[in-house]
Chain A
Amino acid sequence: MENLIGLLVLAPLLGAGVLLCGGRRLDRSGPWLGTLLAAVSFALGVVLFADMLGKGGEERALDVTVFQWVPVGGFRADVGFHLDQLSMTFVLLITGVGSLIHLYSVGYMAHDERKRRFFGYLNLFLAAMLLLVLADNYLLLYVGWEGVGLASYLLIGFWQHKPSAATAAKKAFLVNRVGDMGLSIAIMLLFTTFGTFAFDPVLTRATDAGEGKLTAVALMLLLAACGKSAQVPLQSWLGDAMEGPTPVSALIHAATMVTAGVYLITRSGAVFDAAPDAQTAVVTVGAVTLLFGAIVGCAKDDIKKALAGSTMSQIGYMILAAGLGPIGYVFAIMHLVTHGFFKAGLFLGAGSVMHGMNDEVDMRRYGGLRTYMPVTFVTFGLGYLAIIGFPGLSGFFSKDKIIEAAFAKGGTEGWILGGAALLGAAITAYYMTRVMLLTFFGEKRWQPDAEGEMPHPHESPRTMTVPMIVLAFGSVFAGGLFSINDTFLKWLEPVTGHEEGHSPVSALTVTAATMVVLVIGVAIAWAQYGRRPVPVTAPRGSLLTRAARRDLLQDDFNHVVLVRGGEHLTRSLVYVDHSLVDGVVNGTAASVGGLSGRMRKLQNGYARSYAVSMFGGAAVLIAATLLMRAV
């Protein structure tokens, strides 16, 4: 069984190697090869899952050390895997949703010349993400972490002929570097504190270290999580990342990259539990981001960017839950999984719509598509109901639990967090209803594309609809399955631990309140977009709307504070380098050269002056020796 874990990572890695090095011979078979290897990885995951189910709760974790990676003196790092219920959940989500996205891409990218490369990158992404969640130490996790960063860079910028895509890829990479810096500092701190990178001693002995040190580590880990999971203040890359092909958006948003931060915090739970100040920072980040993303989502007319705002917001829920400690870990992961289903479904649906509408992304130019694309409509609709938390569907169960847990935090903090989560739910209902109405209902507002051709919406091919249908099933049933008998709670509890919170309000009250805000959100959206005709060009809008369209001025903020500041800093450093450092270097070189030229003249070729030099030297030698004695 242990050996299968290595194969799990190896299969997509092999795929990436073969596809990227294989050359044109694989142009036709490549996509299917990549999909097959993703599916193999999923199958291995299922086998391991079945095996795990056969064991008792505490004995389910598997550990395997593949080889000693860096044995240098007291410094030791191994390539080793740790498969427990937490990583198992991620493995199934990553490989399952990942395989479906591969399948979908076969149809979506059918006409792209560079699709072999695309599938190579997709496989690389899977391999890196699997390495991230399976590593049994922070250093190996960091390898996966960076691998995900690399693969996302390659995929977001896949259409590199578009300058906007190239810029977006660069932006994603740079913003992620900031987070990566946090992770590397956290790892260094862990090593200096514990003398090892392995999860086992670090997390079981976490409390041995002082709280101050743990707070520092936890804050650095939070910074890392903010980068990968697009949380405030490192959220700016996510919207631009929509420049990548739609399957990439689905992969980044649903199954892989953005969940890495949640995984990191949950995995390092022991560190956060011992650092309450850091936990406060985590819940603050989560609450701010869930509102931030939701507000941005309301104002976007680009269907993918609206969904991107939604992703940011939903991940904010997860981070919030993870920051609550043992009350919330399980629900963070549960929401992560259900979100994986419905958000992947929504993105694939959006891709399907774009596919039928000549790659148009402006929702104001859609309308009335439900009859033209019935399968897309139904699956997208189910995803929509799931995300707004319609009773009985996946999102209802998972989001409700997080809101409850937020209240259960207790005190003023609990009320603030719970209130923010409720408000977020209302806004979610609003902006998702808006997306739904603009796209599938109302009158046709189709416009000719750049070549003057009117779109002819049609249902997408089978390779694209099948994954959407499968994901729709997940969106509908996953939450219910997890919640009946607290199945998911029992499954994950041995790893993350769990505490019941003491909520000042009853669970029923919370559910009722959620329902009320849901209805309010939907109603406002209906009033604005369902009853009245929608203008094809966006109205100017209020100040908030305009700010939200510009992602709440995040780029402007970054530009003024970071870019300008950075430019000034580099300019002054360049100045110092030119005038001072170069001056010293060049001056030294010049003076050595000058000295050399002058000393060279002593070498005049006359044996007599050489003899004088020797004579003088001997005199100095004797004098110095005698002087030494005299002193």
Chain B
Amino acid sequence: MSHAASVHSLWTMSADAPQKIPAPHIEYAQLSPTLIVLGAAVLGILVEAFLPRRTRHPVQLLLTCVALAAAFAAVVALAAGGYGTGKAHAAAMGAVAVDGPALFLQGTILLVSLVAVFTFAERRLDPAAHGRPVDSFAAQGAAVPGGRAEQDAVRAGFTTTEVFPLLLFAVGGMLVFPAADDLLTLFVALEVFSLPLYVLCALARRKRLLSQESAVKYFLLGAFSSAFLLFGVALLYGYAGTVTYSGIADVVNGNVRMLDPALAATTGNDALLLIGGALVLMGLLFKVGAVPFHMWTPDVYQGAPTPVTGFMAAATKVAGFGALLRLLYVVLPGLRWDWRPVMWGVAIVTMLVGAIVAVTQTDVKRLLAYSSIAHAGFILAGVVATSPDGVSSVLFYLGAYSFVTLGAFSVVTLVRDAGGEATHLSKWAGLGRRSPLTAATFAVFLLAFAGIPLTSGFAGKFAVFKAAAQGGAGPLVIVGVVSSAIAAFFYVRVIVLMFFSEPKEDGPTVAVPSPLTSSAIAIGVAVTLALGVAPQYFLDLAGRAGVFVR
């Protein structure tokens, strides 16, 4: 035995002890979408650190777009390689699932984010400050609103290009969220995408106080809900002795594989399971904005910079519902008779409250916020169908809805007056006469929200309600249709306002955007109409993706 060897044996002596920790096995290729996005985010931080200010904006934009496109290509490659169907499995030691729903949702999130990046990068809407083009974000996030530092930053022409890496971090978290296959990964992913969002919400260039208020509220309530979720995770661990989804599901189904002696007193205690499951559910319902965990939505949607609102409204919903689906379909199917009635109630209340409260809103962004609550209710109706059709209809709805939402918020960024975006509804009166194209585009999105045929909203709603009805949730469908009728009222009211009211004297103008926002809106319209006119291909795609790995 050589010296070196003896050192080695000394060094590894404890490793010879019975508790040997195996090196985790990581399938890097299968996790590549997430890794690409997170890697690019880190690169973006380096760009902020080392590149001169003037070059940062184009470089960040390019980096972000390339990263998102590459990640999307990786998702497509994985799906084409059969990971969505036959080769679906839990990667990274069972922490992350690589299966159909995960890939479908990741693809959707990446495409939506790519379009959202266009609106983030828009620099022509706000009038140039001191000769320098500016975007929707604060000159310097750390400067006190209205203070001296802010004036200096504006005068110096600063822009917050950090929003791009922040967005990438958020996207990275969102990619893991619906794929998380154990509760800890779920929690980490939740925090990874929530924290950048809190910061992004605070970065509006105009109405900064409102923006910061919204960010603080979002942060406080988000932290509150995370605590509930984490507590639920702990209880579930106490119940099953494991945090992996499949492990918990096994215990729920009655076959306990390994009993941790330390947990012998609690394993299999149904009270822990029910309370823990309800708390984890609550954490997810908070993220998707379901009643009664929705209160943050209107305030945050209104205060956040509109591009962020659009991104958040679209992508967060996709990620949140993805995680919810996986939790309910993989972990808790054995508990279906316990959680279904509860989810029924949540879905009904969500649809009704969202639709009813939206009726009296006077601010476009708040209106869209309540609309998103109502839509969360519609999607929940598909979730409780507990059938493969339910999964695929929810997947389709998420894809359709996210593009409509993004497009609608993009249009909101265009309508401006001296104080920035003119979001009060009264100012939108007669918009159709001044800017028929913009108003018509917005009308398309509103009709899609309302679920009028030939738009994606109709195909999505139809799929979800059909799945729900087949799943035995007839009353839910009735409530859904009634809520849709109520919702149609305020969507159509905006259309009437735009096209059949006299324009105001000092009404807002529609800014001419750069090709970035234009293409974001155009993509939104194109997807809305394509999914509305020929939904079958995408329904089939969602149908093929609809099986969760266990």
Contact = CB atoms under 8 A, between A and B. Distances in A.
Contact of A611 (B221, B337, B356): B221
B221 A622 contact: no
B220 A629 contact: no
Interface stretch (A368-376, A440-448, A560-568, A595-603): A595-603
A599 B292 contact: no
A209 interface: no
B58 interface: no
B270 interface: yes
A625 B338 contact: yes
Interface stretch (B278-286, B430-438, B496-504, B507-515): B278-286
A618 B360 CA distance: 27
Nearest to A618: B282
A596 B360 contact: yes
Nearest to B286: A614
A50 interface: no
Nearest to A593: B359
B282 to A, nearest CB: 5
Contact of B278 (A589, A599, A614, A618): A618
A364 B346 CA distance: 87
A614 B359 contact: no
B359 A611 contact: no
A603 B278 contact: no
Interface string B267-295: 00011001101110110001000011101
Nearest to B281: A621
A628 to B, nearest CB: 5
Contacts of A609: 295
Interface in B353-394: 353, 356-361
Contacts of A543: none
B275 A626 contact: yes
A605 interface: yes
B453 interface: no
A629 B278 contact: no
Nearest to B276: A622
B93 interface: no
Contact of A616 (B292, B358, B360): B292
A613 interface: yes
Contacts of B357: 596, 599-600, 603
Interface string B197-226: 000000000000000000011001100110
B270 A629 contact: yes
Contacts of A625: 274-275, 277-278, 338-339, 342
B270 A613 contact: no
A617 interface: yes
The main secondary structure of chain B at its interface with chain A is helix
A256 B89 CA distance: 77
A607 interface: yes
A613 B292 contact: yes
A614 B292 contact: yes
The main secondary structure of chain A at its interface with chain B is helix
B295 A614 contact: yes
Contacts of B270: 629
A575 interface: no
B282 A617 contact: yes
A324 B239 CA distance: 90
Nearest to B490: A596
B228 interface: yes
B298 interface: yes
A544 interface: no
B275 to A, nearest CB: 5
B299 interface: yes
Contacts of A597: 360
B514 to A, nearest CB: 35
B465 interface: no
A590 to B, nearest CB: 11
B81 interface: no
Given A593-B359, A596-B357, A628-B337, A605 B299 contact: yes
Contacts of A603: 295, 298-299, 357
B271 A626 contact: yes
B341 A596 contact: no
A599 B353 contact: yes
Given A592-B356, A599-B353, A626 B274 contact: yes
Contacts of B337: 628
Given A603-B295, A614-B292, A622 B356 contact: no
A609 B282 CA distance: 17
Interface in B467-500: 486, 489
Given A592-B356, A622-B275, 5 more contacts: A592-B489, A600-B360, A600-B361, A625-B275, A628-B337
Interface of B: 216-217, 220-221, 224-225, 228, 270-271, 274-275, 277-279, 281-282, 286, 291-293, 295-296, 298-299, 337-339, 341-342, 345-346, 353, 356-361, 486, 489
Q: Nearest 10 A-B pairs (CB), nearest first?
A: A617-B292, A610-B295, A596-B359, A596-B360, A622-B278, A607-B217, A625-B278, A621-B278, A624-B342, A625-B274
19 contacts: A589-B489, A596-B357, A599-B353, A600-B357, A603-B298, A607-B217, A610-B221, A610-B296, A611-B224, A614-B224, A614-B295, A617-B282, A617-B292, A618-B278, A621-B281, A625-B275, A625-B338, A625-B339, A626-B274
